[in-house]
Structure 1
């Protein structure tokens, strides 16, 4: 059966990315996921739903690996679909540290590679691949409120997400014939939040606030946020607001 939607999701083996991938596993959708590990849950769901699933295993913190995946996407993206989606979800909050203690160049570089470089490379490949197609093409970059509001201890994370927001605005200004937005998804109960709660207060002074949010049940579930995001992407107004926040929507 010919696919009506071709969707690419990065960081799809856990957390919000996995929830987004599961939500996209519907009949008529061809899903391509990019993650470090193979996800058997996605395999089982794809078989049950009759959805075509391709899992690409790679480390998006490696520019060379991203270049290979980008070429693969460019050369193998199926044609003939009505809609093409790219969801750049993969990201890291590490390294968490005060600015005076950010000495690990490798960790900083890896964060920028994952949060920014991989997005730029995959987006370039996606744009080249969909340009000849007469289709509805949409790109969603998963951003963060940290890119819009400074957070002590998150110098690298805030910087990468601010860069992601600005890059998204540049894409919009260039007008490639695609709809695009950078979306803050709110505070979600994922492995990233566990890492944040495990931070030392000397590195991340707001750690107690995040711990209290978890204790008080104030974190959103990945499945709920993913469902809201997929409705958001599907809406006719998608892309009208370039820098957006899912908490602006019911």
Structure 2
């Protein structure tokens, strides 16, 4: 049996990944604030803005459920704070974004690595972004979170050479986050017109097509060879 744990699983890319991975011989656990009734996977309704509680839930479950042929953690969840200058951003929104986007993946990875020792095949896939590699005004926290995921992945790959670890930029996907960026105040978020142009130009990928490409990438025998990757280069 193969275990997959996917955060941010209730909608968008996370839901598409869960749908792609839900098949015979796979046990899929989705973690999100709300359940998605269309998904057949086991769903945990947890707020990753409280990452210690989520990590402790995963720890207890993994200790009680072992003997997997492979185990994969996909840190997909992200929370975009209000687009605009950092100096004008609400503190609570910034804190939640940092907890969901970077603290939660770090704690979940820690639990996953400790509690899956001995499983023959283990993978951690962190869903990053091109903005972790190219700064953008009006989204400082998001850029920092994704850059942090990239560097966390590099460090884990050094610490755990037997574990496949990748921080993957998935391209530009038509999700609720894109709607939020397009709807931002252009006086606070100077890149708003560029994101509107991506939508108008038909350059956004569907969540399902992206999930299909990510699952193919995840199953490659050389997964983990290039720790910081971009699905468009795969």
> TM-score w.r.t. structure 1 length?
0.90
Task: Indicate whether 1:125 and 2:134 are aligned.
Answer: no
Task: Provide Cα deviations, 1:38-82, integer angstroms capped at 9, x if missing partner.
Answer: 111103xxxxxxxxx321110001134323323333323x32222
1:189-200 to structure 2, matched below 5 A, reads: 189-200=174-185
Q: Distance in 2 between matches of 1:230 and 1:221?
A: 14
Task: Indicate whether 1:93 and 2:93 are aligned.
Answer: no
Of 106, 109, 116 in structure 1, the residue corresponding to residue 92 of structure 2 is 106
Q: Distance in 1 between matches of 2:88 and 2:225?
A: 40
Rate the CA distance shift 1:28–1:88 in 2: closer, same or farther, 3 A: same
Preserved CA contact (<8 Å) 2:59 2:115: no
Task: Provide Cα deviations, 1:191-244, integer angstroms capped at 9, x if missing partner.
Answer: 111111111112211111111111221100000000000000000111000000
Q: Distance in 2 between matches of 1:67 and 1:86?
A: 12
- Give how far 1:146 is off: 0.5
Count matched residues: 234
Preserved CA contact (<8 Å) 1:70 1:121: no
Q: Which residue of 2 aligns with 1:72?
A: 60
Rate the CA distance shift 1:64–1:237 in 2: closer, same or farther, 3 A: closer
Preserved CA contact (<8 Å) 1:143 1:165: yes
Q: Distance in 2 between matches of 1:150 and 1:57?
A: 33
Of 3, 9, 19 in structure 2, the residue corresponding to residue 6 of structure 1 is 3
- Is the partner of 1:114 in helix, strand or coil? helix
Of 41, 46, 49 in structure 2, the residue corresponding to residue 61 of structure 1 is 49
Structure 1: which 5+ runs fail to align? 44-52
- Is the partner of 1:41 in helix, strand or coil? coil
Preserved CA contact (<8 Å) 2:79 2:96: no
Give runs of ≥4 in structure 1 deviating > 4 Å.
none
Q: Distance in 1 between matches of 2:218 and 2:162?
A: 16
- Is the partner of 1:69 in helix, strand or coil? helix
Q: Distance in 1 between matches of 2:107 and 2:61?
A: 11
Q: Which residue of 2 aligns with 1:181?
A: 166
Q: Which residue of 2 aligns with 1:48?
A: none
Preserved CA contact (<8 Å) 2:80 2:142: yes
- Is the partner of 2:223 in helix, strand or coil? coil
Of 14, 19, 29 in structure 2, the residue corresponding to residue 17 of structure 1 is 14
Preserved CA contact (<8 Å) 1:127 1:176: no
Preserved CA contact (<8 Å) 2:101 2:145: yes
Q: Distance in 1 between matches of 2:8 and 2:51?
A: 15
- Give how far 1:245 is off: 0.3
